[in-house]
Amino acid sequence: MNSSGLFITGTDTGVGKTAVTTALLALLRARGVDAVPMKPIQTGCLKRGGEVVAPDLDHCLRSIRFTPTVAEAEWMCPYRFVPACSPHLAARIARRPIQLRRIRAAFRQLAARHDFVLVEGAGGVLVPLDERRTMVDLMRTLGLPVLVVARPGLGTLNHTLLTLAALRAAGLTIAGVVVVATERGRRGRIERDNLASIARLGRVPVLGRLPFIAAKKDFRATAERFSRDWKLQPPVFPTLGRTRVTLAQALANARA
Protein backbone atom coordinates (compact mmCIF):
# COMPACT_ATOMS: atom_id res chain seq x y z
CA MET A 1 0.00 0.00 0.00
CA ASN A 2 1.28 3.42 -0.94
CA SER A 3 1.13 5.65 2.17
CA SER A 4 1.82 8.93 0.38
CA GLY A 5 -1.73 9.51 -0.74
CA LEU A 6 -5.39 8.54 -0.84
CA PHE A 7 -7.72 7.76 -3.73
CA ILE A 8 -11.21 9.22 -3.35
CA THR A 9 -13.95 7.47 -5.29
CA GLY A 10 -17.73 7.49 -5.10
CA THR A 11 -20.73 5.25 -5.49
CA ASP A 12 -21.90 7.43 -8.36
CA THR A 13 -21.38 10.73 -10.15
CA GLY A 14 -22.31 13.81 -8.15
CA VAL A 15 -22.09 12.20 -4.70
CA GLY A 16 -19.71 14.81 -3.28
CA LYS A 17 -16.20 13.57 -4.04
CA THR A 18 -14.88 17.09 -4.66
CA ALA A 19 -16.43 18.41 -1.44
CA VAL A 20 -14.79 15.61 0.54
CA THR A 21 -11.46 16.17 -1.21
CA THR A 22 -11.61 19.89 -0.40
CA ALA A 23 -12.46 19.21 3.24
CA LEU A 24 -9.62 16.72 3.64
CA LEU A 25 -7.15 19.08 1.98
CA ALA A 26 -8.05 21.91 4.34
CA LEU A 27 -7.85 19.72 7.43
CA LEU A 28 -4.54 18.10 6.51
CA ARG A 29 -2.89 21.37 5.54
CA ALA A 30 -4.10 22.98 8.79
CA ARG A 31 -2.35 20.14 10.64
CA GLY A 32 0.93 20.90 8.95
CA VAL A 33 0.68 18.34 6.16
CA ASP A 34 1.69 19.55 2.69
CA ALA A 35 -1.30 17.93 0.98
CA VAL A 36 -2.23 18.65 -2.65
CA PRO A 37 -5.06 17.51 -4.93
CA MET A 38 -4.91 15.47 -8.12
CA LYS A 39 -7.74 14.91 -10.60
CA PRO A 40 -6.13 12.57 -13.16
CA ILE A 41 -9.10 12.54 -15.52
CA GLN A 42 -11.62 15.38 -15.75
CA THR A 43 -14.51 15.44 -18.18
CA GLY A 44 -16.82 18.43 -18.51
CA CYS A 45 -13.90 20.85 -18.55
CA LEU A 46 -14.36 24.54 -19.32
CA LYS A 47 -12.58 26.63 -21.92
CA ARG A 48 -11.26 29.93 -20.57
CA GLY A 49 -9.05 32.19 -22.63
CA GLY A 50 -7.57 29.40 -24.64
CA GLU A 51 -7.02 27.16 -21.60
CA VAL A 52 -8.94 24.03 -20.66
CA VAL A 53 -9.86 24.31 -16.97
CA ALA A 54 -10.65 21.28 -14.80
CA PRO A 55 -13.45 22.60 -12.53
CA ASP A 56 -13.06 20.05 -9.71
CA LEU A 57 -9.32 20.60 -9.44
CA ASP A 58 -9.75 24.37 -9.76
CA HIS A 59 -12.25 24.39 -6.88
CA CYS A 60 -9.88 22.43 -4.62
CA LEU A 61 -6.92 24.68 -5.40
CA ARG A 62 -8.88 27.89 -4.87
CA SER A 63 -10.29 26.60 -1.58
CA ILE A 64 -6.83 26.06 -0.10
CA ARG A 65 -5.31 29.08 -1.88
CA PHE A 66 -2.63 26.97 -3.53
CA THR A 67 -1.11 28.00 -6.84
CA PRO A 68 0.75 25.14 -8.53
CA THR A 69 3.58 25.61 -10.97
CA VAL A 70 2.86 25.03 -14.64
CA ALA A 71 4.38 21.56 -14.38
CA GLU A 72 2.43 20.73 -11.22
CA ALA A 73 -0.84 21.83 -12.82
CA GLU A 74 -0.20 19.39 -15.65
CA TRP A 75 0.64 16.58 -13.24
CA MET A 76 -2.47 17.30 -11.18
CA CYS A 77 -4.73 16.78 -14.19
CA PRO A 78 -3.03 15.04 -17.12
CA TYR A 79 -6.29 14.38 -18.98
CA ARG A 80 -8.75 17.22 -19.51
CA PHE A 81 -11.76 16.65 -21.74
CA VAL A 82 -14.51 19.15 -22.58
CA PRO A 83 -17.42 16.73 -23.23
CA ALA A 84 -19.30 15.95 -20.01
CA CYS A 85 -19.45 12.20 -20.40
CA SER A 86 -17.71 9.00 -19.37
CA PRO A 87 -13.89 9.12 -19.65
CA HIS A 88 -13.80 6.39 -22.29
CA LEU A 89 -16.19 8.31 -24.56
CA ALA A 90 -14.50 11.67 -23.94
CA ALA A 91 -11.12 10.15 -24.77
CA ARG A 92 -12.53 8.57 -27.93
CA ILE A 93 -14.05 11.87 -29.08
CA ALA A 94 -10.75 13.66 -28.46
CA ARG A 95 -8.78 10.80 -30.04
CA ARG A 96 -6.55 10.86 -26.99
CA PRO A 97 -6.33 7.46 -25.25
CA ILE A 98 -5.90 7.47 -21.49
CA GLN A 99 -2.53 5.99 -20.49
CA LEU A 100 -2.25 4.72 -16.92
CA ARG A 101 1.54 4.91 -16.96
CA ARG A 102 1.33 8.65 -17.65
CA ILE A 103 -0.99 9.15 -14.68
CA ARG A 104 1.28 7.06 -12.45
CA ALA A 105 4.30 9.11 -13.52
CA ALA A 106 2.42 12.35 -12.76
CA PHE A 107 1.43 11.05 -9.32
CA ARG A 108 5.02 10.15 -8.53
CA GLN A 109 6.16 13.64 -9.47
CA LEU A 110 3.64 15.18 -7.06
CA ALA A 111 4.40 12.66 -4.30
CA ALA A 112 8.10 13.46 -4.58
CA ARG A 113 7.40 17.15 -3.96
CA HIS A 114 4.60 17.03 -1.38
CA ASP A 115 3.74 15.06 1.78
CA PHE A 116 0.38 13.71 0.67
CA VAL A 117 -1.61 13.56 -2.58
CA LEU A 118 -5.41 13.31 -2.60
CA VAL A 119 -6.42 11.70 -5.88
CA GLU A 120 -10.05 12.22 -6.90
CA GLY A 121 -11.50 9.75 -9.37
CA ALA A 122 -14.17 10.34 -12.00
CA GLY A 123 -17.55 8.77 -11.34
CA GLY A 124 -17.52 5.36 -9.66
CA VAL A 125 -15.17 2.40 -9.53
CA LEU A 126 -16.31 0.72 -12.74
CA VAL A 127 -16.48 3.79 -14.96
CA PRO A 128 -14.70 2.77 -18.20
CA LEU A 129 -11.48 4.44 -19.26
CA ASP A 130 -11.33 2.68 -22.61
CA GLU A 131 -12.71 -0.49 -24.20
CA ARG A 132 -11.01 -2.70 -21.61
CA ARG A 133 -10.04 -0.85 -18.44
CA THR A 134 -12.06 0.89 -15.72
CA MET A 135 -11.38 3.32 -12.89
CA VAL A 136 -10.49 0.42 -10.62
CA ASP A 137 -7.53 -0.33 -12.89
CA LEU A 138 -6.24 3.18 -12.25
CA MET A 139 -6.64 2.62 -8.52
CA ARG A 140 -4.61 -0.58 -8.76
CA THR A 141 -1.94 1.20 -10.78
CA LEU A 142 -1.50 3.85 -8.09
CA GLY A 143 -1.78 1.39 -5.20
CA LEU A 144 -3.37 3.88 -2.80
CA PRO A 145 -5.91 3.16 -0.07
CA VAL A 146 -9.39 4.09 -1.28
CA LEU A 147 -11.96 6.30 0.42
CA VAL A 148 -15.55 5.83 -0.75
CA VAL A 149 -18.01 8.74 -0.85
CA ALA A 150 -21.65 7.70 -0.65
CA ARG A 151 -25.12 9.16 -0.31
CA PRO A 152 -27.00 8.63 2.98
CA GLY A 153 -30.52 7.93 1.68
CA LEU A 154 -32.58 5.15 0.20
CA GLY A 155 -30.64 3.02 -2.28
CA THR A 156 -27.20 3.74 -0.85
CA LEU A 157 -26.81 0.32 0.75
CA ASN A 158 -26.83 -1.48 -2.59
CA HIS A 159 -24.62 1.10 -4.29
CA THR A 160 -22.11 1.29 -1.45
CA LEU A 161 -21.87 -2.46 -0.81
CA LEU A 162 -21.39 -3.14 -4.54
CA THR A 163 -18.64 -0.52 -4.62
CA LEU A 164 -16.90 -2.06 -1.62
CA ALA A 165 -17.19 -5.53 -3.17
CA ALA A 166 -15.57 -4.33 -6.40
CA LEU A 167 -12.71 -2.74 -4.48
CA ARG A 168 -12.09 -5.89 -2.48
CA ALA A 169 -12.22 -8.05 -5.60
CA ALA A 170 -9.46 -5.85 -7.04
CA GLY A 171 -7.35 -6.36 -3.92
CA LEU A 172 -7.47 -2.71 -2.89
CA THR A 173 -7.21 -1.35 0.64
CA ILE A 174 -10.40 0.42 1.75
CA ALA A 175 -9.79 3.38 4.04
CA GLY A 176 -13.45 3.87 4.89
CA VAL A 177 -16.62 5.64 3.83
CA VAL A 178 -17.71 9.28 4.05
CA VAL A 179 -21.42 9.97 3.64
CA VAL A 180 -22.50 13.17 1.89
CA ALA A 181 -26.06 14.50 1.85
CA THR A 182 -26.87 15.55 -1.72
CA GLU A 183 -30.43 16.68 -1.02
CA ARG A 184 -32.13 18.93 1.52
CA GLY A 185 -33.77 17.31 4.50
CA ARG A 186 -33.09 16.17 8.03
CA ARG A 187 -31.51 12.84 8.83
CA GLY A 188 -34.13 10.32 9.80
CA ARG A 189 -34.28 6.68 10.83
CA ILE A 190 -33.42 5.44 7.33
CA GLU A 191 -30.29 7.59 7.05
CA ARG A 192 -29.07 6.69 10.54
CA ASP A 193 -29.61 2.99 9.92
CA ASN A 194 -27.89 3.19 6.53
CA LEU A 195 -24.69 4.47 8.15
CA ALA A 196 -24.75 1.68 10.72
CA SER A 197 -25.57 -0.91 8.04
CA ILE A 198 -22.72 0.25 5.78
CA ALA A 199 -20.28 -0.10 8.66
CA ARG A 200 -21.62 -3.53 9.68
CA LEU A 201 -22.32 -5.16 6.31
CA GLY A 202 -19.48 -3.43 4.48
CA ARG A 203 -16.99 -4.11 7.30
CA VAL A 204 -15.59 -0.59 6.97
CA PRO A 205 -15.38 2.47 9.22
CA VAL A 206 -17.64 5.41 8.43
CA LEU A 207 -15.12 8.21 8.87
CA GLY A 208 -17.57 11.09 8.82
CA ARG A 209 -20.34 12.85 7.00
CA LEU A 210 -21.09 16.09 5.23
CA PRO A 211 -24.47 17.83 5.50
CA PHE A 212 -26.25 19.13 2.43
CA ILE A 213 -24.55 22.27 1.10
CA ALA A 214 -26.69 24.26 -1.30
CA ALA A 215 -23.85 26.29 -2.80
CA LYS A 216 -20.06 26.26 -2.68
CA LYS A 217 -20.09 29.64 -0.94
CA ASP A 218 -21.92 28.03 2.00
CA PHE A 219 -19.27 25.36 2.52
CA ARG A 220 -17.34 27.30 5.15
CA ALA A 221 -20.47 28.28 7.12
CA THR A 222 -21.72 24.69 7.41
CA ALA A 223 -18.34 23.06 8.01
CA GLU A 224 -18.51 23.49 11.78
CA ARG A 225 -21.56 21.24 11.91
CA PHE A 226 -19.65 18.12 10.99
CA SER A 227 -15.95 18.80 11.54
CA ARG A 228 -15.91 16.85 14.81
CA ASP A 229 -17.08 13.72 12.96
CA TRP A 230 -13.88 13.29 10.94
CA LYS A 231 -11.60 10.46 12.02
CA LEU A 232 -8.23 11.07 10.38
CA GLN A 233 -6.02 8.41 11.89
CA PRO A 234 -2.86 6.60 10.79
CA PRO A 235 -1.89 4.48 8.94
CA VAL A 236 -4.09 5.86 6.14
CA PHE A 237 -3.62 9.51 7.09
CA PRO A 238 -0.23 11.06 7.90
CA THR A 239 0.74 11.89 11.47
CA LEU A 240 2.62 15.09 10.63
CA GLY A 241 1.65 18.11 12.71
CA ARG A 242 -0.06 18.30 16.08
CA THR A 243 -2.43 21.22 15.64
CA ARG A 244 -6.04 20.23 16.29
CA VAL A 245 -8.46 22.45 14.39
CA THR A 246 -12.01 22.24 13.16
CA LEU A 247 -12.75 22.18 9.47
CA ALA A 248 -14.26 25.66 9.64
CA GLN A 249 -11.05 27.01 11.19
CA ALA A 250 -8.97 25.19 8.60
CA LEU A 251 -10.91 26.76 5.74
CA ALA A 252 -10.74 30.17 7.41
CA ASN A 253 -6.97 29.84 7.73
CA ALA A 254 -6.66 28.78 4.09
CA ARG A 255 -8.60 31.84 2.93
CA ALA A 256 -7.01 34.38 5.28
**Residues belonging to the active site:** 39
For residue 181, give the amino acid letter: A
Kind of pairing, strands 79-80 and 41-42? parallel
Length of the chain: 256
Residues contacting residue 117 through CB under 8 Å, at least 6 positions apart:
4, 5, 6, 35, 36, 37, 38, 107, 110, 111
DSSP string, 135-150: HHHHHHHHT--EEEEE
Q: What H or E segment, with its residue span, contains residue 14?
A: none
Return the bridge partners of 209, or none: 179
Q: Quick check: 144 and 174 in contact, CB under 8 A?
A: no
How far is residue 10 from each of residues 74, 135, 214, 254, measured CA to CA in Å? 24, 11, 19, 26
Q: How far apart are CA 217 and CA 109, in angstroms?
A: 32
Q: Quick check: 247 and 227 in contact, CB under 8 A?
A: yes
- What does the radius of gyration of the chain's CA atoms come to, in whole angstroms? 17
